[in-house]
Amino acid sequence: MPVIAVVDYDMGNLHSACKGLEKAGATTKITDSPADIEAADAVILPGVGAFDPAVQHLRSRNLAEPIKNAIFSGKPFLGICLGLQILFEGSEEGKEPGLGIVPGTVRRFHPEPGITIPHMGWNQLEFTQPNCPLWQQLPSKPHVYFVHSYYVDPADPTIKSATVTHGSQTVTAAIAWDNVMAVQFHPEKSSHGGLQILSNFVAQVKTTVLV
């Protein structure tokens, strides 16, 4: 079974994501060790909380460079929620620079009548890359679970893999290119569809390992 390193930097509940991955046939290793990240077949960067503490925790544990190295080596990578946002250059939420792997900025939802911030609860995805490996065997416009006040705004719109609409604002819900996939929602909280997404990621890892 492929080994997936789940990066532990004190920014979220990692165990629920691990359960979904293990159901799909992966061995997970929750770790803050650069050596474990280097040795793993794939890497998942989860996260819940604020942008600045997240990147501070990563850097204080010397994890920023190992994550970048894993991505640039071609390993399958999945960012979840805050783990998507910190791939970017910076955020309107804070002052710290992000990892800078993805050109672009993390922006705050604009207040408008009739919508709540944070955007919290079930909402539908609109696929902009229908052939993305994460979306296989999912229905059109699946419901997934969101909790966020900020969204990513990539400089290159072609890497958007799905969008979501909250009020009048349609924003990026997922990105994908090459070996990198990242989602704003929580697959581990998104019932059967979320488990399918995690299973699809594991299937992609298995394909990479076999190659």
188 is catalytic: yes
65 is catalytic: no
Single out the catalytic residue among 132, 148, 166, 188.
Answer: 188
The tokens 């699809």 sit on which residue? 200
What was the pLDDT predicted at 32? 95
132 is catalytic: no
What was the pLDDT predicted at 20? 83
Single out the catalytic residue among 57, 148, 166, 186.
Answer: 186
Joined together, the tokens standing for residue 143 give: 């419901």
Single out the catalytic residue among 18, 57, 81, 119.
Answer: 81
Q: The pTM is what?
A: 0.96
Q: Which residues pair with 30 in a beta bridge?
A: 6
What was the pLDDT predicted at 210? 65
What was the pLDDT predicted at 172? 98
What was the pLDDT predicted at 16? 81
Residue by residue, pLDDT tens for the chain (211 residues) are: 889 999 999 887 788 889 888 888 899 999 999 999 999 999 999 988 999 999 999 999 999 999 999 999 999 999 999 999 999 999 999 999 999 999 999 999 999 998 999 999 999 999 999 999 999 999 999 999 999 999 999 999 999 999 999 999 999 999 999 999 999 999 999 999 999 999 999 999 998 876 5
- Alpha carbons 105 and 55: distance in angstroms, whole number: 14
Domains along the chain with CATH numbers: 3-210 (3.40.50.880)
* Residue 210, Ramachandran bin (φ over 0: left; ψ between -120 and 50: alpha; else beta): alpha
What was the pLDDT predicted at 211? 56
